Amino acid sequence: MDLRSCCAVIVGLRWAAFEAWFAEQGGSRHAGVQLRTLPTFGRSVVAAHDIAAGETLLSVPFSLVVDSADALLATSAPEIRRILDEEFPLSPTNENALLLLVHKNDPNSPWQRYIDVLPSTFSTTLFFSDDELSYLEGSSLHYFARQRRRAIESQYDTIFTPLFVDYPEHFAPEQFSLDAWKWALSVIWSRSFVVDEGKSGLVPWADMFNMAPETEQVKVAVDAVDHHLIYSARSPIKKGEQIFVAYGQSRQMSNAQLLMDYGFVLENNPHDA
């Protein structure tokens, strides 16, 4: 078996384990909603058969959402929860990113099957090499991409240097490296949804949908009785169509902003100046 085939097998096994975990935890997926690899888009959600307007595509329990209100962390790692609450208060985005790394480094994390299927790297400008960034010279994107890189490096030092010194038993430099921090922030920026009262978090399975700013194929509702997020078809979806969602503010983003936060650009983006 060559390397590519071996990697495909590993990805397939991880996805099967994730799907089993998702169902065990109370999540459900429409039989016509499938994950496929498409040219240009890569991993994509596609309709395996016609889906009628109003049909439920996904149902995700609140308990699976990874956010800074992570109640389970209070019981599984109460000292880390106390440190963040009392000594190192962070912005919601930074706290979500840090908690994601806590779970990533814990083989017994209840979200490990989900973390296993997250991208290992991103095509955002944060991951560009200096040579790749040089192609953007003269543009505002080049300036802002470098500014963001410097800001994140400074932020990393501010957050983690005292944690490494004061709490080495919880925060090891090799597990909370700068590269790991960039990865965690990129996951939060590119895959979070608003889930409740303006709060955002990672929603397993729902974050597999690709984004199209002008597309309204999916409607999200909160089932307050059963405590689920319900993703349903806003309009009929034909067999073979990719199912898109609009990621909140991304509806008004220029290609420069999309490349910085999501790692792609749109042809004929109406929000480009």
pLDDT at position 31, please?
95
Other C-beta atoms lying within 10 Å of the C-beta of residue 87? 11
pLDDT at position 171, please?
94
Other C-beta atoms lying within 10 Å of the C-beta of residue 57? 26
Residue range(s) of every CATH 2.170.270.10 domain in the chain: 1-58+206-263
Whose structure tokens read 């200096």?
A: 130
pLDDT at position 211, please?
82
Residue range(s) of every CATH 3.90.1410.10 domain in the chain: 66-202
Tell me if 272 sits within 8 A of 200, measured CB to CB. Answer: no
Q: What is the 8-class DSSP label of residue 172?
A: -
Which residues are CB-contacts of 52 (< 8 A; sequence separation ≥ 6)?
Answer: 233, 236
pLDDT at position 74, please?
55
CATH architecture classification, 1-58+206-263? Beta Complex (2.170)
Instruction: List the chain pLDDT tens, one digit each, 273 residues.
Output: 554 555 566 677 899 999 999 999 999 999 999 999 888 788 899 999 999 999 999 999 988 888 755 555 655 677 888 888 888 888 888 988 998 999 899 888 888 999 999 999 899 999 999 999 999 998 999 999 999 999 999 999 999 999 999 999 999 999 999 999 999 999 998 888 877 666 778 999 999 998 876 677 899 888 888 889 999 999 999 999 999 987 655 557 788 888 888 888 877 777 775
Handedness of CA 198, 145, 131, 154 (dihedral sign): negative
Q: What is the 8-class DSSP label of residue 159?
A: H
pLDDT at position 79, please?
83
Of residues 186, 203, 26, the one with CA closest to residue 114: 203
Distance of CA 87 to the CA centre of its chain: 27
What is 66-202's CATH topology?
set domain protein methyltransferase, domain 1 (3.90.1410)
Q: What is the 3-state secondary structure (H, E, C) of 185-233?
A: HHHHHHHEEEEECCEEEECCCHHHCEECCCCCCEEEEEECCCCEEEEEE
Alpha helix stretches (DSSP H) within the chain:
3-24, 71-76, 78-82, 92-104, 112-115, 130-134, 140-166, 178-191, 255-261
pLDDT at position 4, please?
58
Q: What tokens does 239 get?
A: 């067999």
